[in-house]
Structure 1
Amino acid sequence: MDMPLNLRDRTKIFTRFFLGAVLLAGLFVSGCGKVQFSENPALSLEFSADTVLFDTVFTTIGSVTLPLKVYNWNAEALRIDEIELVGGSESPFRVNIDGEVGPSVTDWPILGDDSLWIFLEVTVDPSAASTPFIIEDELRFNTNGNEQRVSLIAWGQNAHFHGGLNELNPLPSCDEVWTDDLPHVIYGIVEVDMGCTLTIKEGTQIHVHDGGGLLVFQSTLRIEGELGNEVVFQGDRLESSYVNVPGQWGIEIDFQFETEYGIEEITAQRGGIWLYGGVECTMDYAVLRNGTIGLQVDTTGTDESPALDIRNTIIHNMSAYGLYAQGGTIDGYNNLIYDCGQSTAAFTLGGAYKMDHCTFANYWAEGVRQSPSVLFTDWYEDINGNIQERSLEGSAFNNCIFWGNNYSLTDFDELVVSLLNPPTSPFIRFSAVDVQDPEFPMGILEATLTDNTPPFASTSDRDFHLSSNNSLWDGVASQFAIGLDLDGLPRAIGQPDMGCYERQQ
């Protein structure tokens, strides 16, 4: 993701601009006479805003840069006697005035019908507050004795900070618990080391910086959210303009390799939460949003339990995948995964996946999507170019919906399988899928709708409740003991509905 210019970058740019402007001004003075500055105190400046407001800023982390434009709409040139931060050098705000950084400048010229740019940043000091608090200052302009002020306001938020600039940043405690007393901010790759456990309690808000995430390496992650008090993973950009921007976080790893043309470097993307050999991990009532790959499972679990048990979880607005599994073992139910730039879920390299009452709905609208909503494969190509098979035996999807906004097109189905050796019995049962391919292995389906558009309440509002009472959408008894749906409402006994939500009579 492209990052905004900081004050230092802007200083370099505007220093060059300012030097050029000085040269031009010199030519102007020598060729046309000296500029006359008015001393009339009745002449005033105008501003693009009377208040510069920063959205919530985590303590110790610098904000984005916000602009303020100053206009002199008068015909006469003015000399601004002083522009200063009222808080002086102790102010948490920083000012860049056309390339000059500091709490104040004096004798700043501005020609008639001209303007100047001011750029502002803020860094908030920690406090004892657990809720957002206000930071205030003013930018004061004094022109011929005429004083004008622009308010500067920022919301500060204390937080727990994890990680750093190292490639891997193991948690300081082997068995650590994160609570909701303050938000948690992840920088870089934070690792739950081998044999350790990280427990995240209900209501905890986790903000992840660009390129960062949580690596669970042969260890255990327990996310213990509750209905109405979910654990939320999201980016660390808190401005309102970033509320629905995908691709803000997710592990990135740089690799170098030698080619005939020299050393090449690539950046590989991994899950924002990456289970690499995860042991009995659980996720209940979690929300993952606005990342690159929400959840990646590269692990086989044990004979007694899957690598991941995921329930009542929502993953959405990922620029690549919502759930990306490579030979994983996952149990889950009442999950909603929607709006991903590639697939909502990719179950690759075989594995054993048991999921009931899950809705996979890809109505991605941020660009052209080239992948199905859900993908299954049971093979991979090794480094020698040989095809290796890994079975999907033991997988079972009941009462699920696999759909998206490509269902009426001919490019690809919303459920695509690439299987060298399909399971001997159906593993997708009493579900709804988009399948138009005549070569699709229908033997993997049982009592499944293949050409019936789910009656979602509103795809434009991303409301995936079923609005029809048609019995077509009745499912079958679950392979898990599920009494409630994602909303916490009761499931019908015997014939619960397909998808993560139950119709209520």
Structure 2
Amino acid sequence: MRFLLPLLLVLSALTVLLPGCEPKEDIITTDSSAKLEFAQDTVKFDTIFVSVGTVSKRLWVYNRNARAVRVAEISLQNRPGVTYSLLVNGQPTLTARDVEIRGKDSLLVLVRATVDPTPSDLKPFLVVDDLKFRTNGNEQLVKVLSYGQNAYFHDAERIGRNTTWRADKPHVIYNSVLVERGATLTIEAGARIYSHAGSFLVVQGRLLCNPAFQPAGELKPEDRNFVRFQGDRREEQYQEVPGQWGGIQFDTLSRDNVVRFTEIRNSNYGLFFFNRRNYQPHPNVLVENSLFRNISTLNSGFGVEGAALLGVYGDFVVRNTLITNCEQYALFGIGNVNQLDYVTVANYARIVRDKPSVLLAPSIEINRVPTPAVAPRLVLRNSIVWGTNKDGNELGFVSGELYPSTISISNSVLKTKEYDNTGALGQRKNGNILNPIEGPNYLFRSTPNRFRGRTLDFQLDTLSPASNKAVPLSGLTRDLLNRPRSSTTPDIGAYERVNP
């Protein structure tokens, strides 16, 4: 009996060391038939700018075998034109070796791409590489595709003289661009401007965006002659995300700015005036045939949330323009002058909104100091102000009873409770249509409320209550897409209705 306990201890130790007692999913097989499987056969990067990295793309690698495998090498071929980096098991590397994957388990590989400059200036170019996995003598490849494009890079640039941004290559803004006083920046038809996170185009001088373009006929929404501003993330998941860059800011002394046939999207602000001391004359901009999309709620630091058009004592004239999917304001005017003709505000944001799309106020507080109290002015004609504010009010006036004489609203479709109940404004009968029911006579062809998953289309529906309810305005005989308007009974909003 005295030898029994030591014998049991020895036998227990030997049992632990026996291969048959090790979990089979941890036993490494060297069988050449034990191959890997992949979640996809191609890792694809959308168009990225040369010398600028992208987000990491995921590739799941599966070991469907009962036993573990040792991947001798995970590497890229390093072909010219693109630089890749990998993240394997949480470790950055160019080549990973002897990576074990347990039986019936998986491995996550992250791939990041930076496309090198090439002589190709105009069109996007394709760079192809292979991600190689070598296991038990087998070599398996996953294709890696990267579309690259050269661009003009503007890094903390100061523009001190008259300058033109051409449309032959995209423009990428890093660390903001400043147009200095006395200088004019002209942006050609068809130019594409991509801004990095937090970057602004700041205009102390003058901005002429697409000033010379004269369309010969009807345009398509995707027409290449529109100037387009957006963030510099080109991946599909970023296409409709607000707040990716700052916006266009005009300084106190900026005058006679023009923005025509332009799309501004995915920013904190669209156009932003900051004239906090109400210097005269106000900075101003003329906006024609333009689109503003996906503007965020980000606070600017002085108590004003994001807006497509934000005027702190800065004046807007806006014609034939669509403003859509702002997380709060489409227009916020503080002590400024606003004239909106044939404008469609269709504010279907992805969040719950509690602010009106259009809000006017005589002053605000900046760093707890009130700005001068000045009655804002609004001329709103032949326009639509609509959206999904949870209170059902898309038109608001702070202390509106103090300045009814500076408000003129006519022949417009309005979703509002305040306007309906504020007798001091006294303009309900000016041809306006208040709070029409959204069905069966829908305002627009396609909205998130009506057709989920379908491409949004804010042109007028066949039986829209906005059809044929506008009045002709001198000089405004064509709509946002340059289609002719009726000379006697045009439609309300940015688009003249046509049969789909």
TM-score range, shorter chain: 0.7 to 0.9
Match of 2:243 in 1: 247
Distance in 2 of aligned mates of 1:103 and 1:44: 22
Q: In structure 2, what is the equivalent of residue 14 of structure 1?
A: none
Taking the aligned partners of 1:136 and 1:84, their CA distance within structure 2 comes to 14
Residue 306 of structure 1 and its aligned partner are, at CA, apart by 6.7
Q: Which amino acid aligns with 1:493?
A: S
Aligned-partner Cα distance in 2 for 1:336–1:68: 40
CA–CA distance in structure 2, aligned partners of residues 471 and 44 of structure 1: 63
Equivalent residues of 1:161, 1:184 under 8 A apart: yes
Letter in 1 for 2:145: I
1:493 aligned onto 2:493: no
Amino acid at match of 1:331: V
CA RMSD of aligned residues (A): 2.9
Give the CA deviation at 1:490. 1.2
* 2:237 counterpart SS class: helix
- Secondary structure of the corresponding residue to residue 357 of structure 1: strand
Report how far residue 470 of structure 1 moved. 6.4
Q: Which residue of 1 aligns with 2:376?
A: 392
Q: Which residue of 2 aligns with 1:405?
A: 388
Q: Name the stretch that deviates more: 186-195 or 290-299.
A: 290-299
Indicate how the Cα distance of structure 1 residues 194 and 67 shifts in structure 2: closer, same or farther if over 3 A, else same. same
Aligned counterparts of 2:481 and 2:256: Cα–Cα separation in 1: 25
Question: For this pair of structures, how many residues does the alignment match?
Answer: 443
> What is the match of residue 462 of structure 2?
467
Which piece of structure 1 moves more, 189-198 or 92-101?
A: 92-101
Matches within 5 A, 1:7-22: none
Shift of 1:383: 6.3
Letter in 1 for 2:73: E
Q: What is aligned with 1:361?
A: 346
Counterpart-to-counterpart distance in 1, 2:427 and 2:361: 13
Mean Cα deviation higher: 151-160 or 429-438? 429-438
Alignment correspondent of 2:288: 311
Structure 2 partner of 1:23:
none
2:149 matched to 1:157? yes
Tell me the CA shift for residue 442 of structure 1.
2.6
Q: TM-score, normalised by structure 2?
A: 0.81
Structure 2 distance, partners of 1:147, 1:317, is 46
Distance in 2 (CA, whole Å) between partners of 1:326 and 1:88 is 53
User: 1:53 deviation in Å?
Assistant: 1.0
Q: Structure 1 residues 157, 48: CA separation in 2 closer, same or farther (over 3 Å shift)?
A: same
Q: What is the TM-score with the length of structure 1 in the denominator?
A: 0.80
Give the C-alpha shift of residue 212 in structure 1: 1.0
Matches for 1:24-423 after TM superposition, within 5 Å: 36-87=27-78, 92-129=83-120, 130-164=122-156, 169-171=157-159, 174-217=161-204, 219-224=205-210, 226=213, 227=219, 228=223, 229-250=225-246, 272-277=247-252, 278-299=254-275, 307-320=284-297, 321-348=307-334, 350-364=335-349, 366-381=350-365, 388-393=372-377, 395-406=378-389, 411=391, 413-418=393-398, 419=400, 421-423=402-404
Secondary structure, aligned partner of 1:233: strand
Structure 1 partner of 2:3: none
Seq. identity, %:
33
CA 473–435 in structure 1, closer or farther in 2 if over 3 Å, else same: farther
Q: Which residue of 1 aligns with 2:426?
A: 443
Please name the residue that 2:8 is paired with. Answer: none
Amino acid in the other structure paired with 1:283: V
Query: What does residue 413 of structure 2 align with?
Result: 432
Tell me the CA shift for residue 427 of structure 1.
1.5
Call closer, same or farther: CA 1:470–1:431 in 2, change over 3 Å.
closer
Matches of 2:262 and 2:162 in 1, distance apart? 20
Q: Residues 158 and 424 from structure 1, CA distance in 2 versus in 1: closer, same or farther, beyond 3 angstroms?
A: same
Partner secondary structure for residue 389 of structure 1: coil
Structure having the higher Rg: 2
State the distance in 1 between where 2:465 and 2:354 align.
Answer: 32
C-alpha distance in 1 between matches for 2:487 and 2:283: 26
**CA deviations over 1:17-63 (Å, ceiling 9, x no partner):** xxxxxxxxxxx999976965322222211222221111111110111
Distance 1:427 1:121 in 2: 55
Aligned-partner SS, 2:426 = helix
CA positional deviation for 1:281: 0.3
Query: Closer, same or farther in 2 for the Cα pair 1:503/1:138, shift >3 Å?
Result: closer
> Following the alignment from structure 2 to structure 1, what is the Cα–Cα distance between the partners of residues 465 and 106?
65
CA distance in 2, matches of 1:246, 1:90: 32
Q: Distance in 2 between matches of 1:91 and 1:386?
A: 53
1:467–1:301 Cα change, 3 Å: farther
**Mapped partners of 2:104, 2:411: distance in 1:** 71
**Cα distance, 1:345–1:426 mapped onto 2, change above 3 Å:** closer
Contact preservation (8 Å) 1:274, 1:295: yes
- Where 1:241 maps in the other structure, the secondary structure is helix
**Per-residue deviation, 1:239:** 0.9
Matched letter for residue 364 of structure 2: Y
1:365-384 Cα offsets, whole Å, 9 max, x none, are x1110101211112334767
Amino acid at match of 2:178: E
CA distance in 2, matches of 1:285, 1:104: 48
Given that residues 138 and 152 in structure 1 are in contact (C-alpha distance below 8 angstroms), is that contact kept between their aligned partners in structure 2?
yes
Shift of 1:339: 1.3
CA shift at 1:170, angstroms? 1.5
Shift of 1:211: 0.9
> 1:297, CA displacement in angstroms?
2.4
Structure 1 residues 476 and 275, CA gap change in structure 2 (3 angstroms): same
Q: 3-state SS of the aligned residue for 1:347?
A: strand
Paired letter, 2:337:
A
Assess if the C-alpha contact under 8 Å between 2:384 and 2:413 holds in 1: yes
Q: Tell me, in whole angstroms, the C-alpha distance in 1 between the residues paired with 2:458 and 2:490.
A: 19
CA 1:501–1:107: 2 relative to 1, 3 Å: closer
State the alpha-carbon separation in 1 of the partners of residues 91 and 364 from structure 2: 57
Structure 2 CA distance, aligned partners of 1:143 and 1:384? 66
2:442 aligned with 1:476, yes or no? no
